[in-house]
Chain A
């Protein structure tokens, strides 16, 4: 098995509407930045792996057909990955597998969503009335988490404030709400009870790309690489009797597989920073518990005590997270890219001091797809 190194990272600026570029132009913007970071050109790329959320979200069917040229993939292997909202994470994993297996030396992985091209709510509803949106699907589970854990309702507001203040430090983030307060979140309209407007993610246009290479490529990279220490993907049925959608077994299994590969026995102390897929505020404590970083009913206490702040002992989403930026297909890959930036020491104003080991996580569907990774500053 080869080691895999992240040597190029590129993100677009995320906005509500990127009407200055086409989908192809948007993606190329992220790709060009990743190539520039890796100091290579599209000619150096052996294979391209792409991912986006369901086609109905943009209203454009099979975009990979017209994107092959824009991505420089003509004449090269091009694969599209699809695991709903976790697709950006899965796309990173598939790209890395191309390297780890020794099949290719340099792989470009790209994920995007140009939400302004379509209407995700319409897409989720299959074009029919009665659609509930992702928030509606997840709201009963967030309520169940609150019910089971006894968490006070302000925990959700705290996460919303923290992530938006982190986003102010991230030049690529979409929402920049520098004057956000607990009071403002609390007073914002209820969208999907118990989730308020300011506890929800935005709809964004944007893309994220990474250049992945093997150990030799990583060692001669122009900038410090992020080393892919461990990867894991799991899925489960959307619904079955006895399923716990608050803490899906697939998420537990995925995390334990990941920790085992990385030699992590106490994630809370051995991981320096985490980028978790938190599209609605309550998912921060839910994934802290869902991936056994915190014990049952302990996740919200980590939020409450400030542990997940950028200066805390277990910073979560220093980038501002999905709560600040959600180009759906890209969001999973942004988690991996931001985790990689942290261990490369290149996260700028939102850098976590001394980050050497980072956790990246994406989930999708009815919280039924998981893609997790551990990135490190040094290979072990």
Chain B
């Protein structure tokens, strides 16, 4: 049986670009997180059962299955450890703005138990980025902060408020400090 045709026919291609704009209503827990973030503070929720701290707060601990609320709020320092990373070479899919290789790192804040995914690392050449490297947040100026990218599906991003993390220059953390927080 012949399964593939050698005859190439010109296909009719019609470009018809459709724009869809979604407005997502954040949960009260995330709204509070965003307000604090815009003011330069990172808050999380500490589970009253296991003491794990989630940033951004979820309003519950998925491991203990208990609700968390404002009474469980804690403030976190804007410093942490790179727990995992890659350097992405853009493949230029439709709508992608990146044209040069970019960093995609997970950062575990010193006061948190859930890592932040998808963070940029600046102030160091790509080839020198390491797991265990200690970093601090690079905040956007107050007037330039937006909440774009923060959604209820939350993969732990800090939206367009903390634009990246940069090395603090302190000695790297030991693997046991971050190996359970690779994300």
B84 engages A122 (CB within 8 Å) = no
Are B3 and A12 in touch, CB under 8 angstroms? yes
The bracket for how many chain A residues form the interface is: 35 or more
Nearest CB of A to B178, in Å: 9
B179 on the interface (CB 8 Å rule)? Answer: yes
B93 touches A131 (CB 8 A): yes
With A19-B11, A122-B94, A140-B182 known to touch, is A132 a contact of B3 (CB < 8 Å)? no
Chain B residue nearest in CB terms to A189: B89
Bound CA–CA A26/B105 (angstroms): 39
Q: Are A143 and B84 in contact (CB under 8 A)?
A: yes
Of the residues A13, A18, A119, A133, contact of B88 by C-beta under 8 Å: A133
Q: Is the CB of A125 within 8 A of B4?
A: no
Closest B-chain residue to A36, C-beta based? B1
Q: Is the CB of A147 within 8 A of B131?
A: yes
Q: Mark B22-62, 1 if CB is under 8 A from A, else 0.
A: 00000000000000000000000000000010100000001
Q: Which residues from chain A contact B91 at a C-beta distance below 8 Å? A: 121, 133, 191
Question: How far, in Å, is A93 (CB) from chain B's closest CB?
Answer: 26
Check A192/B88 contact, CB under 8 A, given A12-B3, A144-B179: yes
Query: How big is chain B's contact interface, by range?
Result: 35 or more
Is A311 interfacial (CB-CB < 8 Å)? Answer: no
The answer to whether B106 touches A140 (Cβ under 8 A) is yes
Contacts of A192 in B (CB 8 A): 86-89
Is B96's CB within 8 Å of the partner chain A?
yes
Q: Is the CB of A136 within 8 A of B84?
A: no
User: In chain A, residues 197-244, which have Cβ atoms closer than 8 Å to a Cβ of chain B?
Assistant: 237, 239-244
Tell me if A29 and B3 are in contact (CB < 8 A).
yes
Task: Say yes or no: is B80 at the interface (Cβ < 8 Å to chain A).
Answer: no
CB of A201 to closest CB in B, whole Å? 13
With A240-B63, A245-B183 already in contact, the answer to whether A143 and B85 are too (CB < 8 A) is: yes
Does A140 lie within 8 Å of B183, measured CB to CB?
A: yes
Question: Residues of B with Cβ closer than 8 Å to A?
Answer: 3-5, 7-8, 11, 20, 52, 54, 62-63, 84-89, 91, 93-98, 104-106, 113-115, 117-118, 126, 131, 155-156, 175, 179-183
26 residue pairs A–B, Cβ–Cβ below 8 Å: A13-B4, A18-B4, A121-B93, A125-B96, A127-B20, A128-B95, A130-B97, A130-B118, A131-B93, A132-B88, A132-B118, A140-B106, A140-B183, A141-B182, A189-B89, A190-B87, A192-B88, A239-B115, A239-B155, A241-B52, A241-B63, A241-B113, A241-B180, A242-B113, A242-B180, A243-B180
Q: Told that A127-B20, A144-B182 touch, could you supply 14 new A-B pairs with CB distance under 8 A?
A: A129-B97, A132-B118, A140-B84, A140-B106, A140-B182, A141-B182, A143-B86, A192-B86, A192-B89, A193-B86, A240-B62, A240-B63, A241-B54, A242-B181
Q: What is the interface of chain A, defined by CB distance below 8 A to chain B?
A: 12-13, 15, 18-20, 29, 119, 121-122, 125, 127-133, 136, 139-141, 143-144, 147-148, 189-194, 237, 239-246
